[in-house]
């Protein structure tokens, strides 16, 4: 890939800001709105915010890790950036679209690149009914919550909740319970990427639940629909020797 204009954006942390200054001194840059490619300096959280900010521009985004985990980032180096961008391999991500209906009947929509999660926010456990493509698959689950994860997000909250890691090319979603009390033996399901998942909150007044799409939260939800949205397709760039597919594969062998 050849890019004529580059924009640099950085998280507020000191090491990200130091990297921003160094790269701007070394390479010509433009504002993100005028760039052919955006170079992100920070961690996965800042990368997610940047992806959301530029979702509809379809500008490729290349991250360099100046945060902690950096699962969605490349290794940070000041030298050779132009060559790395030319060699970078694109990964297309398809986000989830959450449509949450609250206790007043108002609908809220949001996109999630990693996952949509439902979470209790009082001492009482949530009660959820789960349907897939209009068919009830779990009549009642008593739990802290549940989530639907993309393949790209399967190594984030989904993995912490003991959900499966999904290779990017599998075209699957993970449906994962969060601290399920009943049915205690249910560990979740792998669903086709085109599946529509519906959560109904039972006894919502006494057992309130919030729905979260990445970092956008809606309180007091009664119903949440989750479906993959292929009309939006952000592109991440990775060094050939350190791509996201390989990271997801390696993560499955971590002990």
| β 61-65/37-42 pair status | parallel
Sign of CA dihedral 218, 55, 134, 170: negative
CA distance 11 to 18: 10
Structure tokens at 92: 């297309």
Alpha-carbon distance of 20 to 49, in angstroms, equals 17
Point out the catalytic residue in the list 36, 44, 133, 144. 44
CB of 180 within 8 A of CB of 186? yes
CB-facing half-sphere around the CA of 209: CA atoms within 13 A: 32
Task: Name which of 171, 186, 185, 170 is nearest 130 in CA terms.
Answer: 186
- Whether 44 is a known active-site residue: answer yes
Distances (CA, A) of 42 to 58, 70, 88, 254: 20, 8, 18, 24
Q: Please choose, from the candidates 196, 188, 203, the residue with its C-alpha nearest in 3D space to the C-alpha of residue 228.
A: 196
Residues marked as catalytic: 44
């Amino acid at each position: 890939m050849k890019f004529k204009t580059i924009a640099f954006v950085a998280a507020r942390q000191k090491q990200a800001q130091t990297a921003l200054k160094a790269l701007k001194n070394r390479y010509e840059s433009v504002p993100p709105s005028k760039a052919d490619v955006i170079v992100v300096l920070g961690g996965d959280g800042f990368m997610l915010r940047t992806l959301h900010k530029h979702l509809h521009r379809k500008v490729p985004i290349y991250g360099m890790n100046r945060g902690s985990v950096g699962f969605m980032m490349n290794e940070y180096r000041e030298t050779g950036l132009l060559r790395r961008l030319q060699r970078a391999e694109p990964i297309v991500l398809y986000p989830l679209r959450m449509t949450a209906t609250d206790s007043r009947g108002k609908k809220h929509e949001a996109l999630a690149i990693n996952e949509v999660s439902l979470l209790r926010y009082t001492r009482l456990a949530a009660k959820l009914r789960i349907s897939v493509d209009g068919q009830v698959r779990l009549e009642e689950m008593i739990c802290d919550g549940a989530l639907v994860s993309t393949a790209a997000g399967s190594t984030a909250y989904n993995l912490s909740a003991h959900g499966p890691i999904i290779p990017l090319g599998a075209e699957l979603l993970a449906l994962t319970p969060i601290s399920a009390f009943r049915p205690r033996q249910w560990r979740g399901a792998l669903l086709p990427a085109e599946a529509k998942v519906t959560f109904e909150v039972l006894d919502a007044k006494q057992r309130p639940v919030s729905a979260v799409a990445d970092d956008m939260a809606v309180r007091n939800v009664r119903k949440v629909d989750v479906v993959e949205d292929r009309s939006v397709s952000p592109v991440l760039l990775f060094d050939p020797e350190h791509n996201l597919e390989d990271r997801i594969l390696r993560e499955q062998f971590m002990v």
